[in-house]
Chains A and B, each alone.
Chain A
Amino acid sequence: MSSVELDAIDRRIILATQAGLPLAPQPYHAVAAQLGLVAEEVMARLRRMLALGVIRRIGAVPNHYALGYVANGMTVWDVDDAEVDALGERVGRLGFVSHCYRRPRCLPDWPYNLFTMVHGRNRHEVIAYAAEIGRILGASCRRHDILYSSRILKKTGLRIGA
């Protein structure tokens, strides 16, 4: 993915907002006041970063557990290298998949190269979702595993340093 040119002012806006937007009627004005900028500039730069994908979106990040998604499975698959990109695109389009990535294997300990996160209200749901992924991967997948999370140790999201 190509990277976007960011200047010092963009970086100050990122630092000021990465932990969250102020809960005040005019949050962009509050950020601007804190940085000695005008609100119009803060809003214009946020719009640009959103348009270029530096910001994926502005919004709420829920805790899975609080919404009842207590079964969170990282499903991992050992998929034929020649097929993994085409199959990864298809698996990523399944409605219940929240993340789908290709990552390197780490042999001999770790044979899996396709990582997909699925969230269910119980483990039966996660197993059914994994079976659906397995049907798409078919014979191109040699083996798979499901790693359930049993505890959230940290969940702050990306924090860049000053």
Chain B
Amino acid sequence: MMQQVFERAAAMPMDSTDRRIIEALQEGFPICEHPYAAAAGSLGITEAELLERLRRLLERGVLTRFGPLYNADRMGGANVLAAMAVPEADFERISQIVNRQTEVAHNYRREHRLNMWFVVAADTPDKVDAALRRIEAESGLPVYRFPKEREYFVDLRLKP
């Protein structure tokens, strides 16, 4: 399902206003009484147009989220990158087991013997450990754990 959303998103062109919205709103969004009106004003469009375009960008999957991006570490939680070597025939089943864990923030198929890579994050380290153990128990496969030891840089912005 998720894959279909991304393929559809990739197939749909954006106009220059969409690109300006994405570029500007990756930088930040105000905390004030009428933040959409404030953001729309800097973009030279109306509040109603900004809301409508954001709604469509989210619906088409061009944006995966719009709102506060929380940092599990700063809540006293943990963030572990995990990997599995999943047999091809079992890929869909294992992918469902992994994806249904609330603590799995994202999951990618990668071209490697370790072909499934996902980030497990929560507001306490216990929840992260428990989710990893559930995945091992339900899949019957070992999960490699790569906890974050040091963060040198994170910036999720992309030039549209």
Partners in one complex: yes
Spell out A's residues near B (CB within 8 Å).
1, 3-4, 6, 14, 17-21, 23-29, 39, 43, 46-47, 49-50, 52-67, 69-70, 72, 74, 85, 88-89, 91-93, 97-104, 106, 109-110, 115, 119, 145, 147-161
Residues of A within 8 A of B64 (CB): 61-63, 155-157
Main secondary structure of the interface of A (DSSP, over half): mixed
Pairwise interchain contact A151-B109, C-beta atoms closer than 8 A: yes
A160 to B70, CA, bound (A): 10
Q: What is the total of A-B residue contacts with beta carbons within 8 Å?
A: 276
Residues of B within 8 A of A4 (CB): 74-76
Q: Which chain B residues (138-160) contact chain A, with CB distance < 8 Å?
A: 144-160
Q: Mark B107-131, 1 if CB is under 8 A from A, else 0.
A: 1111110101110011100010000
Pairwise interchain contact A62-B160, C-beta atoms closer than 8 A: yes
Pairwise interchain contact A1-B66, C-beta atoms closer than 8 A: no
In the complex, which of the residues A61, A66, A102, A156 has the most CB atoms of chain B within 10 Å of its own CB atom? A66
- Other than A21-B68, A99-B155, give 12 A-B pairs with Cβ distance below 8 A: A23-B51, A49-B70, A53-B71, A53-B74, A57-B28, A59-B25, A60-B57, A66-B6, A103-B148, A154-B118, A158-B69, A160-B77
Pairwise interchain contact B75-A115, C-beta atoms closer than 8 A: no
Pairwise interchain contact A62-B73, C-beta atoms closer than 8 A: no
Residues of A within 8 A of B135 (CB): none
A64 to B91, CA, bound (A): 23
Tell whether A152 pairs with B47 under 8 Å between CB atoms, given A55-B69, A62-B26, A157-B64.
no
Residues of B within 8 A of A39 (CB): 33
A141 to chain B, nearest CB (A): 15
Pairwise interchain contact A62-B63, C-beta atoms closer than 8 A: yes
Q: Mark B2-33, 1 if CB is under 8 A from A, else 0.
A: 11001101101010000001100111110111
Residues of B within 8 A of A25 (CB): 34, 36-37, 47, 51
Pairwise interchain contact A159-B2, C-beta atoms closer than 8 A: no
Pairwise interchain contact A57-B69, C-beta atoms closer than 8 A: yes
- Contacting A160 at CB < 8 Å: which of B22, B67, B122? B122
Pairwise interchain contact A23-B54, C-beta atoms closer than 8 A: yes
In the complex, which of the residues B12, B28, B74, B118 has the most CB atoms of chain A within 10 Å of its own CB atom? B74
Q: Which 8 pairs between the two chains have the least Cβ-Cβ distance?
A: A92-B153, A3-B76, A92-B152, A66-B9, A21-B67, A151-B109, A103-B146, A60-B25
Pairwise interchain contact A6-B75, C-beta atoms closer than 8 A: yes
Pairwise interchain contact B31-A148, C-beta atoms closer than 8 A: no
B60 to chain A, nearest CB (A): 8
Pairwise interchain contact A150-B109, C-beta atoms closer than 8 A: yes
B15 to chain A, nearest CB (A): 13
Q: Could you give 9 example pairs across A and B, Cβ below 8 Å?
A: A21-B68, A89-B152, A91-B152, A91-B153, A98-B154, A110-B146, A115-B146, A160-B70, A160-B122
Tell whether A161 pairs with B69 under 8 Å between CB atoms, given A23-B55, A43-B31.
no
